[in-house]
A and B are shown apart, each in its own frame.
Chain A
Amino acid sequence: MGKTLYDKVFDSHTVAQLPSGQTQLFMGLHLLHEVTSPQAFSSLDERGLRVAHPERTFATADHIIPTHTRLRPLQDSLAEEMLGALESNVAKHGIPFFSPARREQGIVHVLGPELGLTQPGMMICCGDSHTSTHGAFGSLAFGIGTSQVRDVLATQTLSMNRLGVRRIEVNGKLRPGVYAKDVALYIINRLGVKGGVGFTYEYAGEVIDRFTMDERMTLCNMSIEGGARAGYINPDETTYAYLKGRRFSPSGANWERAVQYWNSVRSDADAVYADVVRFDGAQIEPMVTWGITPGQSVGVSDKVPELSSFPATERETAEEAYRYMSFEPGQPISGTKVDVAFIGSCTNGRLSDFEEVARLIQKSQRKVAPGVRALIVPGSHNVRQALIERGYDKLFTDAGFEFREPGCSMCLAMNPDKLTGRQVCASSSNRNFKGRQGSPSGRTLLMSPAMVAAAALSGSVTDARQLFDLR
């Protein structure tokens, strides 16, 4: 009987069976940011402990960082205190820090892969639920809480339970104008926001095989929105081509041995899964969320669903969503006016996301619609630099977009980038929770970067396939 990648990596990282019945697992890579680590370091200090493996630990600042200026001290004294705490903690414990001052910083889930820190067959953790992103490389990667951050700092290990693996195949071919984000939103819509609880997702199939690494990261990133703490894709030539030559990637003779190891962790052809789900990629439309969970979405040509279309158990949440979003059941989603357009985040803040947006803006020759505030927030300094080298900074600003410094920004609005009042935001981020984008009554419509661009240029939710003539 064959094994899945999950089983192989889980087994090779097993340190011990714990009396609790849980398994102690070694963490190959521990990523830190300023929001979920300060209390972990304090607790470590209280217990007189040191960081066990600073060489397997890497830090950056992303959540609280302003994107309009890099000046210190930060205007927000609380944010400054957090950044200062991170700087002193990493200095004290000898942890490599990718700092804003040296222009090395980025969103932790954009930066790790970019540097080649994220590699197949590793266990990876971070005090951040979107750590699932790194599963795109065939690693097992998941978010943890601050107490667990302390555990990993102290021991480089975690105690966990073994989960079942659900294989999700997306076969066929995506239609033009349909992106990885649409696939992610479609899967969550079909399987539900709690469908993945207790599972790790293995994504496979023709569509996934053809995906670039950026697209795979977008898909794995959203696993947690479907309830799955981790989601992964078996490593292949696409993965290796991406990794080759990165700063922390193996090189020379070590590269061959690495590829051999990476190939060995792939799921076996006769691996046994807890569950297999198949989708036809050709059925997927550009998706837009209308509600307050990432599962409440429709195709752009669809209408906000009728209450009767939901099973009894989902009606309460649906009614709350209609109320909060001010949508009527049966109302077309297309044409919804937007106040803000946000392109960025760990879901869709990578180079190819912005390259596609630049291509579409160029093609349409349009400018941001009057009254719409549109933000381009690169996922990292590297992404930002690459965009500047291509002249896209000018293209974006000429079209009426603000071109910002990198950070999490308006995905969760812990920095000054926030919605106000009941503003509606077309957003390439990952969560449309109530209040998520910084205004307690702000409204978020999740969609692909291309769809956000279409909304920015036309002032309302618009089918990007029509606006940009994608055929």
Chain B
Amino acid sequence: MSLDTRRIVIEGTAVPVRGDDIDTDRIIPARYLRTVTFSGLGAHAFEDDRAELTRAGKQHPLDVSAYSGARILLANKNFGCGSSREHAPQALIRWGKGITAIIAESFAEIFNGNCFSLGIPCVKVDEATAQALMAATEARPDLVFQINLERSTIEAGPHRVGFEMPEGVRRRFLEGSWDSTAELMANLPQIEATSARLPYTSGFAG
């Protein structure tokens, strides 16, 4: 098993999931949270949205065979709002070949943090760019995207655009140091000192 956790260039085709404010209940309905693991969630990603469109004689992008190999998800504004459930990104990384990065106009905060914890870069682009990239992949689903974290660029066919990501976050993806537990554990003495300094940890006993 490869232990390389670095995220330098992420390459793959993309699947566009249009719409603002797509909440985590839609990404993974609550009934699939009745589990003590994350396995098997991929099959249920966007399940109710997919069924709703199928009933209406349409297809959700996740059901379009041309997108079935996608590794990158394209979204609009406030993607992943609502519930803090990490099951949402856990479902996306288990869908199809596995989503490895998300490009959107904006992300809900808890979702963004969850993706970071799992090593999935969330890259932010402006509205015009998101629309252009979605249109490009809709016209040519086999269009290969390259998200280059070293250069902070997205390349897809004729498109070459920059993206936004906080510098510290980008560096940790490049270093492969996005797993935070080890980093936090390195400061055990400071943790105990902070705890001792806070008056409530002793129940305000003088």
Name A's B-contacting residues (CB within 8 A).
12-16, 18-22, 24, 26, 28, 35-36, 38-39, 42, 47, 49, 52-53, 56, 63-64, 76, 78-79, 81-82, 85, 119, 121-122, 127-129, 142-148, 150-151, 154-159, 161, 193-194, 197-198, 224, 227, 229, 250, 253-255, 257-258, 261, 293, 313-314, 316-317, 320, 412-414, 431, 433-436, 438, 440-441
Nearest CB in chain A: distance from B165 CB, A: 12
> B65 contacts the other chain (Cβ, under 8 Å)?
no
Q: Is the C-beta of B11 less than 8 angstroms from some C-beta in chain A?
A: no
- Verify if B21 is at the interface (C-beta below 8 Å from A): yes
CB under 8 Å from chain A, chain B span 152-206? 166-169, 171-172, 177, 180-181, 183-185, 187-188, 190-191, 194-195, 197-201, 203-206
What residues of A have a CB within 8 angstroms of the CB of B204 in the complex? 250, 254-255, 257-258, 261
Decide yes or no whether B30 CB sits under 8 A from chain A: yes
Asked if A143 and B110 make an inter-chain contact with CB atoms under 8 angstroms apart, the answer reads: yes
Q: If A194-B77, A414-B30 touch, does A261 touch B200 (CB 8 Å cutoff)?
A: yes
Q: Which residues of B contact A258 (CB under 8 A)?
A: 199-200, 204
Q: Are B86 and A147 in contact (CB-based, < 8 A)?
A: yes
User: By the criterion CB–CB under 8 Å, are B78 and A194 in contact?
Assistant: yes
For B82, the chain A residues whose CB sits under 8 A away are 129, 224, 431, 433
B142 at interface, CB cutoff 8 A: no
Of A127, A156, A320, which contacts B19 at CB under 8 A?
A: A320
* A129 with B83, Cβ < 8 A, contacts A155-B184, A193-B78, A254-B205 known: yes
Q: Which residue of A lies closest to B35 (CB)?
A: A78
- Tell me which residues across on chain A come within 8 A of B148, comparing CB atoms: none
B19, B36, B86, B114 interface centre (most CB from chain A within 10 Å): B36
Stretch at the interface among B45-53, B66-74, B93-101, B133-141: B45-53
- Nearest to A160 among chain B residues (CB) is B113
- Besides A81-B36, A414-B33, A431-B25, 9 more A-B contacts (Cβ < 8 Å) are A28-B201, A144-B113, A147-B117, A148-B117, A158-B184, A161-B166, A258-B204, A414-B31, A440-B47
Whether B84 pairs with A197 at a CB distance below 8 angstroms is no
A residues in contact with B114, CB < 8 Å:
145-148
Q: Closest Cβ of chain B: how far from A440's Cβ, in Å?
A: 4
Nearest Cβ on chain B to A117's Cβ, whole angstroms: 11
List chain B residues, Cβ under 8 A from A16.
187, 190
Nearest CB of chain A from residue B37's CB, rounded to whole Å: 6
Which residues of B sit under 8 angstroms from A12, Cβ to Cβ? 197-198
- CB distance A227 to B84 under 8 Å? no
Tally of contacts, chain A with chain B, CB under 8 A:
218
Q: Which residue of B lies closest to A64 (CB)?
A: B34
Query: A20: which of B35, B169, B203 is its contact (CB, 8 Å)?
Result: B169
The answer on a CB contact under 8 Å between A122 and B200 is yes
Indicate the size class of the contact surface on chain B.
35 or more
B184, A24: Cβ atoms closer than 8 Å: yes
* Closest CB in chain B relative to A293 CB, distance in Å: 5
CB distance A159 to B180 under 8 Å?
yes
Report whether B78 and A227 are in contact in the complex, using a CB–CB cutoff of 8 Å. Answer: yes
Q: Which residue on chain B has the smallest CB distance to residue A264?
A: B199
Q: Which of B77, B110, B167, B190 contacts A145 (CB 8 A)?
A: B110
Whether A156 contacts B191 in the complex (CB less than 8 A), given A143-B110, A440-B52, comes out as yes
Bound-state Cα–Cα, A253 to B204, Å = 9
Judge if B125 is at the interface, Cβ distance under 8 Å.
no
Contact A14 B34 (CB under 8 A): no
Contacts of B60 in A (CB 8 A): none
Chain B residue contacts of A13, Cβ below 8 A: 194, 198
- Distance between B28 CB and nearest chain A CB, rounded to angstroms: 11
Q: Is the CB of B81 within 8 A of A155?
A: no
Contact A26 B198 (CB under 8 A): yes
Whether B118 pairs with A147 at a CB distance below 8 angstroms is yes
**Contact yes or no, A21 B195, CB < 8 A:** no
The distance from the CB of B52 to the nearest CB of chain A, in whole angstroms, is 7
Known interface pairs A38-B36, A433-B82; A413-B31 also in contact (CB < 8 Å):
yes
Q: Which residues of B contact A158 (CB under 8 A)?
A: 184
Judge whether A14 and B181 touch: CB under 8 Å.
no
Residues of B within 8 A of A26 (CB): 191, 194-195, 198
Chain A residues whose CB sits within 8 angstroms of the CB of B113 once the complex forms: 144-145, 148
